[in-house]
Amino acid sequence: MPLEPLSADNDEPTRRDVLLIAAGGCAIVGGAAALWPLLDQMNPDASTLSLATTEVDISHVEPGQALTVMWRGKPIFIRHRTDQEIAKAKDTPLDDLIDPLARNANLPENAPASDDNRAAKDREPWLVMVGVCTHLGCIPKGQAVGDYKGEYGGWFCPCHGSQYDTAGRVRIGPAPENLAIPPYSFLSDEKIKIG
């Protein structure tokens, strides 16, 4: 059987064209089906998503008292500071600080570590921080009555001796950064939403 020359006018798909398109489509669908579980496992699980925010009742916390709650598997320190603690934190020159940045998720990254940038806006007696030492991840002491709070009256990390002042700023020790301030807001005078 003689072969007929191909014509440029012939726009009909050949059997080979149909098979190539079908094979390419199957490869794309198969590749997507194989990649989906790999990509989907990177999403947070339901228990993590349920902890994205937490509401805390602070109505029973008196000045000078502290409260610890868990958020995303980390302790959150909430302290109702006294007037003396606030004054002491405000009197600290920024040049005396190891870390000059506020580390406040509610402010720009380069915000200075003044007491105003560490405490709650318009509610300066309240201080909300992630209670994990920035050196090696230990939990500082200073929340419970009778805890040693270090030379600056804030928190003391028993692992390597870092000391934080009443605004959660590192003052002595190997910790490189101030205690982090998580994203939070006041829902009312008696309730805080963290996250």
What per-residue confidence (pLDDT) applies to 10?
64
Res 91: pLDDT: 92
What pLDDT sits at residue 36? 86
In a domain, 4, yes or no: no
Same domain, 39 and 17: yes
Here the tokens at position 103 are 């580390």
pLDDT in tens, 90-127: 999 999 999 999 989 889 999 999 999 998 878 889 99
Of the residues 60, 80, 135, 160, which is catalytic? Answer: 160
Please report, for the domain that includes residue 54, its CATH number: 2.102.10.10
Question: Is residue 33 domain-shared with residue 93, that is, in the same domain?
Answer: no
Count of beta carbons in the 10 Å neighbourhood of residue 170: 27
Both 57 and 119 in one domain: the answer is yes
Domain count along the chain: 2
Q: In the numeric block, which tokens belong to residue 123?
A: 């509610």
Spans in the chain with pLDDT lower than 70? 1-10, 46-51
Do 39 and 53 belong together in one domain?
no
Concerning whether 160 is annotated as a catalytic residue, the answer is yes
Q: Is residue 6 part of a domain?
A: no
DSSP H helices in the chain: 15-40, 46-50, 83-90, 115-118
Q: Looking at the domain assignment, is residue 172 inside a domain?
A: yes
* In a shared domain, residues 56 and 139: yes
- 8 falls within a domain: no
If asked whether residues 55 and 39 sit together in one domain, one would say: no
Question: Are 102 and 148 part of one and the same domain?
Answer: yes
166 lies in the same domain as 92: yes
Range of the domain at 27: 13-43
CA distances, 128 to each of 4, 36, 57, 96, 157 (Å): 83, 39, 13, 22, 17
Do 74 and 18 sit in the same domain of this protein?
no
Q: How much is the pLDDT for 48?
A: 64
3 state DSSP class of 96:
helix
Cα(186)–Cα(99) distance, integer angstroms: 27
Specify if 148 maps to a domain.
yes
Between CA 164 and CA 95 the distance in angstroms is 15
Residues 81 and 61: their CA atoms lie apart, in Å, by 10
Q: Mark whether 36 and 85 lie in a shared domain.
A: no
Co-location of 153 and 119 in the same domain:
yes
Whether 157 maps to a domain, the answer reads yes
Look at residue 72 in the predicted model and tell me its pLDDT: 86
Q: What average pLDDT does the structure give for the chain?
A: 87
pTM above 0.75, yes or no: no
